[in-house]
Structure 1
Amino acid sequence: METLYLVFIDPFVQMVTAPDFFLQVLWEGFVSGVLYALIALGFVLIFKASGVLNFAQGIMVVFAALSLVGLTALGVPALISFVICIGIMFVLAVGVERMVLRPLVNQPDIILFMATIGLTYFLIGLGELIFGGEPKTMVTEQLLLPTGSTAFDILGGFLILQHIDIAAAVIAIIMVAALGFFFSKTRIGRALRAVADDHQAALSVGISLNQIWVIVWFAAGIVALVTGVMWGARSDVSFALQIVAFKALPVIILGGLTSIPGAIVGGLVIGIGEKIGEIYWGPLVGGGIEGWLAYIIALAFLLVRPQGLFGERIIERI
C-alpha cells in the first residue's frame, strides 16, 4: 500500500504543495525540450529529402561546436569563427553528397543508413585528431550570449531563469519557425517537399536531387551548429554531447519522421516528461532515470501509434 502511495499519489502531492518548484521543473524541461526539437529537425530535414535516418546528426552537433571553440582558441574572433563554421558545414554537406549519397543513389535505405554510421565514426576520429578528446568551454560571452540568472517571486516561492536558457529557447523557437516558413513558403522548400513525396516524380519535373541533398545537409549542419553552441553554453563541449543529441530519436518517434510540427511537440513531450520523471519519480529507483526515460516513453508510444503523432500511416496492398 505504501508503495502505491509513493508511486501514484506522493509525486502529485509534491507538485501541488510546492508549485513554484514544479514550475521550475517545467521550465527546465521546456528548455531541454525545445533544444531536443531543434536537434530532431536535423533528422527530419534529411529524412524528408532522402529517406535516410542520419545517424551522424549527433556527431555533427559535436563537430560543429568543437570547430567553433577550436577556431576561437587559435585567435579568430568568435563571431567570425561562427561564420567560418557555417562554411565548414557547407563543405561537409557537399562532401557527403559527392562521396556518400551520389555513389549510393537508388541503393536500399539500410545501405545509406550504414553509410551515415560510417560518417559518424569518421567525424569522431577527425574531431579527436584535430581537437583532442578533452572537454572544452564554449565561448559564450564572445558570441554575445547572455550569462547570469534572474529570480522571480511566484506562487509563494521563486522561479530562477538562467539567461542562457532564455536565449536558447528564443533562438531555437526562431529557427524552428524559420525552417517551417522555408519548407512551406519558398520555392526550394516546395522542391524539398516534392522530393520527399516522390523522388522519380521530382526528377521528371527537373528538380535536382543532388542540389536538394546538399541544401538539406547544409541546413541540418546549421541546425547542428546552433544546437552545439546552445548545449555547449549550458555545459562543456565534448563528445558526450552526441549522447544528448540522440535524445532526438525518441522525439522523432513521437512526432513522426517527416513532420516539423511533430519534432516540436515530440521535443516538448520528451523534455518535460523526462525532467518531471527524474525529479518526482527518480528517487524511487535511485535516480538517474533522465538518461533512459525518453526511450521508455518512445517505446510505450510506439505500441499505440507506430507512425508518430504527425507521421503518415503507410498502407501497403498485398
Structure 2
Amino acid sequence: MKSAATPKWCVLISAMRGADHPMSSFYEFMEFSLLGLFSGGVLALIGLSFVLVYKGTRVINFATGDVMMLGAYLYYTCHVVLGWPLLIAFALSIIGIAVLAFIIERSVLRPLSGQSVISVLMATIGISAVLHGLTEVVWGSDTHSTPSLLPRMPLNLGEILIPGYVFGNFILAAALITAFLLFFRYSRTGVTLRAVANDPVTACTMGIDIRNAQRLTWMLAGLSGTVAGVLVAATAGLSPLLATTALGVFAVIILGGLDSIIGAIIAGLVIGWLDGVMVGYMGGKVREVVPYIVVLTILVFRPYGLFGTRTIERL
C-alpha cells in the first residue's frame, strides 16, 4: 500500500499512528471507508457546481475547474499575500467569483441565448482556457501552500484515526450543501430557480425573469466551486493543476445524473468511498480508473444516471 502513488492521507495517518501500531482488517477497512466518505463530501460539492448550471441552462460548464482554481487563488492572495484575516479573505474570494460569474453571464453567455447548446458549451471551454491562461500569467505555475479554513486536529475514534483536514472539509461541504438544499426548498428565490429549471417556458409566462434566474444560477455555482477550490487547495496545494480536479468529478455527475442535486450528493459519497477503499488497499494509481469502470457499468443499465431525469423520445 505504501507505494510512490500512496495519497497524502495514507502517509499522514501512518506518521500519526506510528509504524509499529498494527491494525485489524476490520478497523483498517472502516478507516479507509470513513476517509473515502468524508472526501466524497468535497466531490459532492464540486458536482453540485456542475449540476446547478446544467439544471438552469442545460449546458455542461467546462469552466467549473478553472473557476474553482481562480477562487482558491483569490483566497490565497487576500489571506497570504495581503495578510487579511481568514474569514475576510474567504468572503472576498466568494464575492470576487460571484462578480466574475455575473460578468461572464452578461458579456458571453447572454449574447448566445437562443443559440444551440453546442455553441454555449464551446463558449464554456473558451472561458476555461482564458481563465487558465490569465491565472498562469498573474500567479505563475508554481505550487503554493494555502492555510486551511478549519483546525487540523485529527479525529480519533478508538482504533480509527481520521486527519483533521479530511473531517473538517467534509463538515464544511456538508453544511454548505445543506444550506443549498434548504435554500431551494424553502426560499422564494430558490423555488423560482427550481421553476425555471423544470419548465422555463411556463416560468416565463408566469412573469419570471429567466435571464436573472440563470445569472443567479451561475453565481451560486461559482460560490460552490470557490468553496470547493479553497478546500482542495488547502489539502493538495495550490497551482493551475487544481483545475483538473473538476474533470475527475465527471464520474460523480454522470453517476448521479446531470440534473439531480441529490444524485450529485449520493454519487459523491459513493465515488469517495470507492476511492478511499481502493486507494487504501491498492495505491493511488487506481483512482484514475476504478470510478469510471463503475460508472460505465451502471450507465449500461441507466444511461441517465442513478437519479437523472429520464428522457423519452417517441419515434
TM-score normalized by structure 2?
Answer: 0.88
Matched, 1:77 2:82: no
Distance across 2 between alignment mates of 1:86 and 1:17: 44
Asked whether the 8 Å contact 2:155–2:167 carries over to 1, the reply is: no
- Equivalent residues of 1:49, 1:213 under 8 A apart: yes
Q: What residue is the counterpart of 1:37 in the other structure? A: 44
Cα displacement (A) at 1:217: 1.2
- Please tell me whether the aligned partners of residues 56 and 116 of structure 1 are also in contact (alpha carbons under 8 angstroms): yes
Matched, 1:235 2:236: yes
Once the two structures are superposed, the pairs formed by residues 257-296 of structure 1 within 5 Å of their partners are 257-280=258-281, 282=282, 288-296=285-293
Q: Distance in 1 between matches of 2:178 and 2:91?
A: 21
Runs (5+) with no aligned partner, structure 1: 1-15
Q: Deviations over 1:175-207 (max 9, x none)?
A: 111111111211111211121122222222111
Q: Which residue of 2 aligns with 1:149?
A: 154
1:21 and 1:171 mapped to 2: Cα distance?
25
TM-score, length basis structure 1: 0.87
2:124 is the alignment partner of 1:123: no
* Contact 2:42–2:170 (Cα < 8 Å) also in 1: yes
Query: 1:151 and 1:37 mapped to 2: Cα distance?
Result: 24
Q: Does 2:105 match 1:97? A: yes
Letter in 2 for 1:148: M
Structure 1 residue 67 corresponds to structure 2 residue 68 = no
CA contact (8 A) 1:68 1:82 kept: yes
Any conservation in 1 of the 2:94–2:227 contact (CA below 8 Å)?
no
Q: Which runs of 5+ in 2 are unaligned?
A: 1-22
Q: Per-residue displacement from partner, 1:255-285 (whole Å, max 9, x unpaired)?
A: 11111110111001111112222333x36xx
SS across alignment from 2:240: coil
Aligned residues: 292
**Offset at 1:135?**
1.0
1:308 aligns to 2:308 (yes or no):
no
CA distance in 2, matches of 1:162, 1:38: 20
Partner Cα distance (1:168, 1:75) in 2: 23
Partner amino acid, structure 1, of 2:62: F
- Percent of aligned pairs sharing the same letter: 37
Q: Distance in 2 between matches of 1:309 and 1:278?
A: 24
